[in-house]
Amino acid sequence: MRVTIADVAREAGVSKTTVSRVLNDRADVDSVTAARVREVIGALGYVPSSGAVGLARGRSRTVAMLTPPLTWPWMGEVLQGVVDTVEAAGYGLLLYTCNRGAESVAHFTGQVSARAFDGLLVVEPEGTLETITAMYRRGLPVVLVDDRGHHPDFPSVGTTDREGGASAARHLRDSGRGRPLVVAGPTAFGCVRDRLDGFLGVLPTGLIAEGDFSEESGRAAVERALAGGARIDSVFAHNDLMAAGALRALRAAGLRVPEDVAVVGFDDIPTARHTEPPLTTVRQPMRAMGESAARLLLARLAGEDPPAGPLVLPTELVVRGSAP
């Protein structure tokens, strides 16, 4: 039924070896022969079986990516950066998510999926780190897009969390704010600690609430602070979702943003420009991070040595109405 290299060889009157050479653009084929083979390939609509090619070559020209839920507001950017880079290199991308928890991971490591790819890209490895480490030890090239923790063992791509936090603090300080509330993410994450350190180094405060990166937790943190009688003139939230929640709580309490309280977020998700007022935020270059991670992995597959330290891409303060 399906057209194989043998069909092409027979039709073109050459050996499979020669067809294979043409397919792989080897120089040592007579140009007339090559042209004829190419013609037959076109006429027959022949497409090589990637499974067979992979088996024979020992590698699949496919990389896998293990992600948190794809509904995270910034995953689209990361994914697009990865796909573009990987496709441009002629690789395929196999996508896995951990959102079904242990079951997903089990499946991921299980017999069906495994060994189908040459290398692995991981975003936010929490929960899967042991598994990943084991695969890494057995020789699987891995690169982390790691905005959550510090995993010095792996090649990784990150962003300037500390400087990002500091830039938010400088901006608030320079616009005359001195009583900030920080709505932090879970402090177990390395990025959270970095953002906190950077911020506090510029603008020290005792008012620190720990949220869980959800909008609701941002809202609750502000409500608690207000109910506790805290007199704040600004909020720095560790992501835009919590900042949006803070915005709501402030306005619900009758406070004006930015006149009474300025708000700065982190990430610059698509929603950030649509809140009222639009959100000033520390932008993470998610797309560039996806591209860089993919490039790092591809370089690794091409035999290059992994870089000594993590690749760190700069954040950028984006000023909008919530903290002019």
Partner DNA sequence: CTGAAAGCGCTTACAG
Contact set with DNA (CB under 7 A): 2, 4-6, 13-21, 23-24, 27-31, 33-34, 46-49, 52-53, 55-58
Of all helices (H) and strands (E), which one includes residue 92? Answer: strand 92-97
Q: Mask: binding to its own copies, 225-244, rule CB under 8 A, as x and -?
A: -------------------x
Is there a cis peptide before residue 270, judged by omega within 30 degrees of 0?
Answer: no
Q: Does 60 bind its own copies (CB under 8 A)?
A: yes
- Amino acid present at 312: V
Which is closer to its own copies, CB of 89 or CB of 299? 89
Q: Does 254 bind its own copies (CB under 8 A)?
A: no
Site for its own copies in 72-101 (CB under 8 A): 72-73, 75-77, 79-80, 83-84, 87-88, 90-97, 99-100
Which is closer to its own copies, CB of 18 or CB of 167? 18
Q: Does 253 bind its own copies (CB under 8 A)?
A: no
- Which of 6, 35, 43, 52 is the binder for its own copies (CB under 8 A)? 52
Query: Which residue blocks in 142-239 are alpha helix, DSSP H?
Result: 161-174, 190-202, 215-227
Which one of DNA, its own copies, none is in contact with 253 (Cβ closer than 5 to 8 A by kind)? none
Q: Shortest Cβ distance from residue 44 to DNA (Å)?
A: 10
Number of Cα atoms under 13 Å in the Cβ half of residue 234:
27
Q: Which residues of 284-296 are buried (b: 16+ CB within 10 A; e: fewer)?
A: bbbbbbbbbbbbb
Contacts of 82 (CB under 8 A, 6+ apart): 65, 93, 121, 290, 291, 293, 294
Q: In what order do the strands lie in the sheet with 180-184?
A: 208-210, 180-184, 234-237, 262-267, 280-283, 316-318
The Cα 113–Cα 105 span in angstroms is 11
The residues of the shown chain that bind its own copies, judged by CB under 8 A, are: 23, 45, 47-52, 54-55, 60-62, 69-73, 75-77, 79-80, 83-84, 87-88, 90-97, 99-100, 104, 107, 111-116, 138, 244, 270-271, 274-276
